[in-house]
């Protein structure tokens, strides 16, 4: 038996056998067999109440999944992460995003050095600067106060701040606008700046290396926009940097005193709590930002200390393994019933797919099993009128996470109760469906032809998790975000893949540089394949015709 291949282990094979026994189990039968299921399958992690009762799983399923987690060394890898071990083996780096929100005062060691003094120093620097922008003491080159802050970044340097700003917009200083530019498509920059006064605009350039092509192209365009309007010396007043590359920052024209650093043990998609969150701190203020960090830390502590059987991120990760690897599901939907969380699914689309979209194990072997799922979703109730048809009656089973809040940010009439009624109803409809007999009875009662009945059947047995929080605040946003981060960690540990590198983006980037050079040289023969050469040739010909 090859112990390095999890599919050959006893824990995995026991789950395969168990799946065969569970294939014809219905959600209705699980509830009929256990009248305490709704309560016993409900858990609490910090302020989040998590209902796992609507899953195609029983107590034995959880026992087997827990055995798989222990066999896979999830707990040891978790402890290694918190202790600064270089678990990102392909890049020889520690993975310490949890240190960024460590409000406990405990030292966090990497190679014998406590990183917390540097973390706290940068947070203090961020707080001082954000206060100066918010209170108007930081001014532009003409002495006007800043009215708009534009974060220029891409990937984790954009998605995290965008998601959190949209989520916490109700906490933001409303006379200070926050915008984001990430796409190298000039349309985004033009639309972000077209109604702005350069004298009242501040750019935050967020790039660890200060070499990312999309970010630096947009940054150069932003600098030209500022200097054309305000003169060559205006850069220092209208730009700050989030980076590790002081030389490149200085060469761009930004005073390195206005550079906010972070470290190689901070992965881009886990960097929201680092200086990458500077734009967010400016928007919501340092106190709210620190409250968000406290929420992250509270969930980190739950993940760090709770046994697997009560560890909610681990249980969510294990249920994802159960569906993806044994029920052959290929995607998961995150469906927040909260408009402020409109970018939350997209944020964890990157978080999950960039982390666990891997086909090679940590020890360099090709996997023989499915790894990262496709993540997608939109806020309810909009999604109900878009893609829920497939969730309910499509041929694929898509596990769903519903996220809702007891108290709304805005109490207006009956809106919130109706919103939450929809969320609860959708989870029930997915789980229990409508039997052929029930569909036929409804069809007859409505006076419709009998052959319509099958169209009105709902198979049910579509699994879902419901996450209920008291209210969307900076603290609960931190808890939710850390919950999903650690779910992703758990699955990567079981699949024995490195969730903290992203080599998959490199090939396309290098080919883009090659293609751009060929475009500038007008030499299509420099491209490596006939299709790309033909496409570039056509593009150049059409450009010439338009001139």
56 Cβ neighbours under 8 A, 6+ residues apart: 22, 25, 27, 30, 323, 327, 461, 463
Encode pLDDT of 241-255 as tens digits.
999 999 999 999 999
* Spatial separation of the C-alpha atoms in residues 439 and 457, rounded to whole Å: 5
Encode pLDDT of 33-73 as tens digits.
999 999 999 999 999 999 999 999 999 999 999 999 999 99
Contact 447, 35 (CB under 8 A): no
Residue 2 scores a pLDDT above 70: no
CA 231 vs CA 223, 226, 234: distances in Å:
10, 7, 6
pLDDT of residue 3: 52
Please state the rounded mean pLDDT for residues 125-131.
98
Residue 282 scores a pLDDT above 80: yes
Residue 1 scores a pLDDT above 50: no
Check: pTM over 0.85? Answer yes or no. yes
How confident is residue 226, by pLDDT bands cut at 50, 70 and 90? very high
pLDDT of residue 296: 98
Residue 181 scores a pLDDT above 90: yes
Please state the rounded mean pLDDT for residues 442-457.
95
* Spatial separation of the C-alpha atoms in residues 433 and 431, rounded to whole Å: 6
Q: Closest Cα to residue 146, out of 240, 231, 218?
A: 240
Neighbours of 363 (CB within 10 A): 8
* Spatial separation of the C-alpha atoms in residues 392 and 381, rounded to whole Å: 15
Which 8-state DSSP code applies to residue 140?
-
Residue 399 scores a pLDDT above 50: yes
pLDDT of residue 511: 94
- SS3 assignment, position 471: strand
- SS3 assignment, position 66: helix
Q: Closest Cα to residue 54, out of 325, 404, 401, 483?
A: 401
Q: Enumerate the active-site residues.
A: 354, 385, 509
Percent of the chain surpassing pLDDT 90? 98
> Which ranges of 394-529 does DSSP label H, i.e. alpha helix?
415-432, 436-445, 474-495, 506-521
Query: For all residues of the chain together, what is the average pLDDT?
Result: 96
pLDDT of residue 528: 87
* Spatial separation of the C-alpha atoms in residues 205 and 241, rounded to whole Å: 5
Q: Residue 524: enclosing H or E segment and its boundaries?
A: none
Greatest Cα-to-Cα distance within the chain, rounded to the nearest angstrom: 78
Encode pLDDT of 355-393 as tens digits.
999 999 999 999 999 999 999 999 999 999 999 999 999
């Amino acid at each position: 038996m090859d112990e390095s291949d999890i599919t050959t282990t006893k824990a995995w094979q026991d789950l395969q056998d168990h799946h065969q026994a569970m294939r014809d189990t219905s959600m209705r039968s699980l509830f009929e067999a256990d009248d305490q299921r709704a309560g016993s399958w409900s858990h609490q992690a910090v302020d989040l109440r998590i209902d796992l009762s609507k899953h195609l799983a029983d107590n034995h399923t959880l026992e087997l999944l827990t055995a798989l987690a222990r066999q896979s060394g999830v707990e040891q890898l978790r402890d290694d992460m918190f202790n600064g071990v270089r678990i990102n083996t392909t890049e020889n780096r520690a993975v310490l995003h949890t240190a960024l929100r460590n409000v406990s005062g405990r030292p966090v060691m990497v190679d014998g050095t406590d990183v917390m003094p540097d973390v706290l120093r940068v947070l203090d620097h961020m707080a001082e600067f954000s206060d100066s922008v918010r209170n108007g003491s930081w001014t532009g080159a003409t002495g006007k106060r800043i009215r708009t802050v534009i974060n220029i970044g891409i990937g984790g340097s954009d998605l995290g701040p965008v998601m959190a700003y949209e989520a916490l917009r109700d906490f933001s200083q409303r006379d200070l606008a926050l915008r984001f530019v990430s796409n190298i498509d000039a349309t985004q920059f033009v639309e972000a700046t077209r109604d702005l006064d350069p004298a009242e605009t501040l750019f935050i350039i967020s790039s660890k290396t200060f070499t990312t092509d999309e970010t630096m192209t947009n940054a150069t365009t932003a600098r030209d926009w500022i200097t054309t309007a305000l003169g060559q010396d205006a850069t220092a007043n209208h730009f700050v940097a989030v980076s590790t590359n002081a030389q490149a920052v200085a060469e761009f024209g930004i005073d390195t005193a206005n550079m906010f650093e972070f470290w190689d043990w901070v992965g881009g998609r886990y960097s929201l709590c680092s200086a990458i969150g500077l734009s967010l701190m400016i928007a919501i203020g340092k106190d709210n930002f620190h409250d968000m960090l406290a929420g992250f830390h509270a969930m980190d502590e739950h993940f760090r200390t709770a046994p697997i059987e009560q560890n909610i991120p681990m249980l969510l990760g294990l249920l994802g393994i159960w569906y993806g690897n044994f029920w052959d599901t290929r995607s998961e939907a995150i469906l927040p019933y909260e408009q402020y969380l409109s970018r939350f699914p997209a944020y964890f689309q990157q978080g999950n797919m960039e982390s666990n979209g891997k086909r090679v194990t940590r020890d360099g072997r090709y996997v023989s099993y499915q790894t990262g799922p496709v993540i997608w979703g939109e806020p309810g109730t909009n999604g109900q009128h878009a893609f829920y048809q497939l969730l309910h009656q499509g041929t694929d089973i898509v596990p769903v996470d519903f996220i809702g809040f007891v108290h709304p940010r805005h109490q207006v009439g009956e809106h919130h109760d109706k919103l939450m009624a929809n969320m609860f109803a959708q989870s029930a409809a997915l789980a229990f469906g409508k039997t052929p007999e029930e569909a036929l009875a409804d069809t007859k009662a409505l006076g419709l032809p009998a052959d319509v009945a099958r169209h009105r059947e709902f198979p049910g047995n579509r699994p879902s998790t419901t996450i209920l929080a008291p209210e969307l605040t900076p603290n609960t946003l931190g808890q939710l975000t850390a919950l999903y981060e650690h779910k992703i960690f758990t699955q990567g540990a079981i699949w024995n893949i490195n969730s903290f590198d992203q080599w998959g983006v490199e090939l396309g980037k290098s080919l883009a540089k090659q293609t751009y050079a060929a475009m500038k040289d007008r030499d299509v023969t420099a491209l490596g394949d006939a299709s790309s050469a033909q496409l570039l040739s056509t593009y150049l010909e059409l450009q010439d015709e338009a001139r």
